[in-house]
Structure 1
């Protein structure tokens, strides 16, 4: 038998055990999107929808200047590759992102949070419409839009929400 195949089977069993533990914490799956929603809910005091398949938004801010506003939470290896824009309305897009993927052949891209962005959804959609950008899966976002909407690690010029030291500390756990 191929040694690599046997090792892969063992590693997948280990990964499954870890993912079961993650799901026990998140009360959802261990998929990147569900884990991102769990992290965002804890850091930004978001009440998640009862189901992970809520159309348009994933929850509501429970406190602060955005209290009771809807938010669609995205978690990506890199937001620079584009963000998924739903046809269903929401008020904000909160994006947890890792760094841009390095060029060349990469077999593993670690998932971590190197930046957080918060977009006013109606303003973002208006900007897309003005530029003729097609909206949907992997909608292209300009680097300037990402910079302006950045909350973490450094707030952008149009940051919609100031982060507390505690929020910064929680996000740093995943950096």
Structure 2
């Protein structure tokens, strides 16, 4: 019975933490909502409530990407999968990923890397390979590598400031 009591205590703690996260971000404490909050804060994305219906979360507000739509995703495990849309295509996908190999059981919410995919170029590359496009689209390693903006800047469309890099490092 002590294991059940311990589980009940852990769930109460989790509920308390989830409630605090929900209050902070202004929505349910789900990985996608937390990713959007982080992206809005670090990358100065302007959220767009109507954008949800159109397949994106908001728009970039500065630099060469200003005004471009972006769909934010967080893959707790870097598994090569991406939620790619064909009916409502954003301009970009901004994707946070955790490690390839997880240190524990489950999916801890860690950010090991960040990727920026130009959506139409990604769709073209996937179609050329004959990939089935869905919520679990398999994206090859070279496409991920070219899209990386953190920790190594391989995609130069969005260069991160030192402050942005330090903020992302908080989630390692």
Same fold (TM over 0.5): yes
Measure the CA separation in 2 of the matches of 1:8 and 1:98. 26
| 3-state SS of 1:80 partner | coil
Deviations 1:49-68 (A, max 9, x none): 23794440011111111011
1:23-102 pair list within 5 angstroms: 23-50=22-49, 53-87=52-86, 88-102=88-102
Q: What's the offset of the Cα at 1:131?
A: 0.8
Compute the RMSD of aligned alpha carbons: 1.7
Consecutive unaligned residues in structure 2, runs of 5 or more: none
Measure the CA separation in 2 of the matches of 1:77 and 1:63. 27
For structure 1, which segment, 79-88 or 49-58, has the greater mean C-alpha deviation from structure 2 after superposition?
Answer: 49-58
Kept in 2, the 8 Å contact 1:101–1:109? The answer is no
Residue of structure 1 equivalent to 2:117: 119
Consecutive unaligned residues in structure 1, runs of 5 or more: none
Alignment counterpart, residue 166 of structure 2, candidates 139, 160, 169: 169
| TM-score of the superposed pair, with normalisation by structure 1 | 0.91
Query: For this pair of structures, how many residues does the alignment match?
Result: 171
| TM-score of the superposed pair, with normalisation by structure 2 | 0.93
Measure the CA separation in 2 of the matches of 1:102 and 1:10. 25
Kept in 2, the 8 Å contact 1:34–1:52? The answer is no
Measure the CA separation in 1 of the matches of 2:123 and 2:15. 39
Q: What's the offset of the Cα at 1:151?
A: 0.3
Measure the CA separation in 1 of the matches of 2:26 and 2:141. 34
Measure the CA separation in 1 of the matches of 2:23 and 2:61. 23
Kept in 1, the 8 Å contact 2:77–2:102? The answer is no
| 3-state SS of 1:16 partner | helix
Residue of structure 2 equivalent to 1:129: 127
